[in-house]
Each structure stands twice: as C-alpha cells, then as structure tokens.
C-alpha cells in the first residue's frame, strides 16, 4: 500500500536538503516500512514501533525494530506522529530528547491530519523549521541547538505520554490509544449484551486497555481464563495493569500480535470490538473481516463470537461464510451487536 506521509518524510534526504554522513545513527519513531526507506541504506537505523502489523513488516524487511527507543542519542530522529494531538506532541518531545546537539528532527504528516500544527509544534520546541510539501503531506525539520530547545515545553510534552488514572481511577490509560480516557460506546454496548452465563476459556480480540475483558470477568464468574490479543503494545501493557485484580483468580495471558494472522485456541467464546482504522482515516473493513475469520478458526465447535461494529461496516457476508448461526442482538446508537456460533463440524 502507498504511504504518502512516509514518502514525504524521506523527501528532504532524497533532495539533499538534509545530508547525513554514512553510518550516522538514526532513530525512527513510529516507523513504518515502505520503499522510501531505501534512502536510509548505509545509516545505523533503529526503528521503534509498538504496533504489531507495522513491526512485522519492518522485521520482514530485515530492519532492526524495538518497541522502545532504549537509551542513547542519535544524529537524526525521524517521526511519523500519531493523529491525536497529545500523542503527536509527546512523540515530537521524545524525538527532541533523543537527538544530539546539532542533530536533526524530521517529522511528516498529511495536510488533512495536522501538518500545519505539526510544524508549529516543532518550531515551539526547536525554533526555526524548514519544510517541503508533496503527496498532500508536509515534512518539517529543525536542527537541535543547546540554546534553542524550549526545555520547559519539552518537559511538559514528555509528561503527556505518562500513564495516568482515567474513569474516576477505575483504569489507567495514556494518550494515543483508542478511546484512551473514556468508555467507547460500542464496547459498552457489547459489554451490556454479553451474557453472564459465559464460561470456560475466552479471548478478547483487540483488547485495548482492557475494558471489555474486565467487564466479561466481572460479569461472568464461570469464566476460568481470558487471553487478550492486542496489536498495540502500549495498550496491552496497560490492560495487564487494569486486570491486575484477577491475577491468581483467573488465568490471564496477553498476546502482542496482529490478530488477522491467526490466534491460539480453542476458545469457548470470543468477544471483540474490531478496529476499522489503521494509518489514515479511511475505513478498513478488511481488518474486521480478518478478525472474524481468526475468531472462527480459534473457537471450538459450538463456540460463540460476540462482536460489535459500526452499523455500516459490511461484516455479515464474512460472518455467514465462516459461522453456522449468525444473529443480530442489538442495533443502537449506530452500532450493531452480533452473536455468531461456530458449526459443530467446522475446524
């Protein structure tokens, strides 16, 4: 798939507006793989990515990937900031904190997703910036000088990414995650519809910071075990904290992975609020369809899937292809809750 923001991020290196010496240490925050990365050949590149599908693509390309940047400074830091402004500011601050004096911070975003704001924010941190525009995106960069870094702002923005209590202290979360400081209405609707008679071993596909899994465990005392699958490691780490009260009482496991590539099992039941966005704003029905197929493969014969989705998303055909019985349980507030049962003869 094309990645205009990534292509634009690399543009100043290709046009030689920025020159890095061979072997320069480069950190790439929120890294994504694309052909544009060929321009970084010959550099000492560390990719940081906590989102499993992007991590997998980078590793497949033979690049060094880590969930965290670790210690040390870098000659240049590239970043593809998240869409949430708080998260983007924290990522810019992380980039500034990791670059050497005299090093360069380079960031890119689509024009429709805050490119102008990104440029202003980088200027607030480092002073004068330069920019190029292409692919309906903007790349901005600035050199870090000891006397130009706004240290007070840097400290404030680094603190944005710290996990903190939300929902009156019932959970911990952090900016950048889906519905990070609230209960997503779709997940709440699904939690209300899940029966308290569930039992055995279950899984939550796309667990987020753990709201839905915790709802199931609180509601259904006969559930003996839950596996949480989440592509975003930052969310999965928080889910472990948010389900801490069940440790020693139920068997809990977390899987940092791309659900569409398959899950463990067999499970007696699965709950899921599948994502339908990844990078960008466009709907990605294929992701939810992948979740449905993974759920069908991971359930035992007769096992149940309870899922919620935006009303307009076209999941019914996939559901009827891989499940024996599909029924809609609710249609409220623009969301639909569906129960699907795996056929007895299906593996």
What local confidence, expressed as pLDDT, does residue 345 receive? 67
Predicted confidence at residue 344, as pLDDT, reads 82
Coil vs helix vs strand at 317: helix
Sequence-distant (6+) residues with CB within 8 A of 58 are 31, 32, 33, 47, 49, 65
pTM of the model: 0.93
Report the pLDDT value the prediction gives residue 103, as an integer from 0 to 100: 97
Q: Say what the pLDDT of residue 1 is.
A: 66
d(CA 5, CA 83) in angstroms, rounded, equals 12
Q: 335 by DSSP, 3-state: which?
A: strand
* Coil vs helix vs strand at 82: coil
What are the mean pLDDT values of the chain's consecutive 10-residue runs (347 residues total)? 93 96 97 96 97 97 94 96 94 97 97 96 96 97 94 96 95 94 95 97 97 98 98 97 95 97 96 75 77 97 97 93 96 96 77
pLDDT of residue 70: 86
- Structure token digits, residue 272: 């899921």
What does 218-239 look like in DSSP terms, one character per residue? HH-TTEEEEEEEESBHHHHHHH
Per CATH, 4-159 and 164-341 having the same topology is answered yes
164-341 is classed in which CATH architecture? 3-Layer(aba) Sandwich (3.40)
- At residue 241, the pLDDT reads 96
CATH of domain 4-159: 3.40.50.150
d(CA 216, CA 246): 12
- For the chain, domain boundaries: 4-159, 164-341
């Amino acid at each position: 798939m094309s990645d205009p923001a990534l292509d634009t991020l690399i543009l100043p290196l290709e046009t030689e507006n920025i020159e890095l010496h061979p072997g320069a240490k480069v950190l790439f925050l929120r890294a994504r793989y694309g052909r544009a990365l060929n321009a970084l050949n010959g550099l000492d590149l560390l990719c940081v990515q906590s989102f499993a599908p992007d991590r997998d693509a980078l590793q497949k390309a033979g690049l060094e990937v880590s969930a965290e940047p670790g210690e040390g400074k870098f000659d240049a830091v590239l970043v593809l900031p998240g869409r949430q402004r708080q998260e983007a500011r924290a990522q810019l601050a992380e980039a500034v904190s990791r670059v050497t004096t005299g090093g360069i911070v380079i960031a890119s975003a689509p024009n429709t997703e805050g490119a102008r704001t990104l440029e202003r924010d980088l200027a607030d941190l480092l002073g004068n910036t330069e920019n190029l525009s292409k692919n309906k995106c903007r790349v901005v960069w600035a050199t870090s000088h000891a006397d130009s870094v706004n240290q007070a702002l840097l400290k404030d923005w680094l603190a944005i990414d710290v996990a903190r209590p939300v929902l009156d202290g019932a959970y911990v979360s952090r900016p950048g995650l889906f519905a990070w400081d609230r209960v997503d209405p779709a997940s709440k609707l699904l939690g209300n519809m899940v029966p308290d008679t569930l039992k055995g071993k279950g899984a939550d596909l796309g667990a987020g910071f753990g709201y839905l899994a915790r709802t199931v465990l609180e509601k259904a005392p006969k559930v003996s075990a839950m596996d949480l699958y989440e592509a975003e490691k930052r969310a999965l780490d928080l889910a472990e904290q948010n389900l801490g009260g069940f440790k020693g009482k139920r068997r809990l496991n977390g899987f940092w992975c791309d659900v569409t590539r398959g899950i463990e099992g067999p499970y007696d039941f699965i709950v899921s609020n599948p994502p339908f966005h990844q990078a960008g704003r466009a709907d990605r029905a294929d992701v939810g369809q992948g979740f449905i197929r993974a759920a069908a493969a991971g359930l035992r014969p007769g096992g149940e899937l309870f899922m919620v989705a935006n009303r307009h998303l076209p999941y019914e055909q996939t559901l009827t292809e891989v499940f024996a019985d599909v029924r809609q349980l609710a249609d409220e507030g623009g969301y639909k809750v569906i129960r699907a049962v795996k056929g007895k003869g299906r593996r």
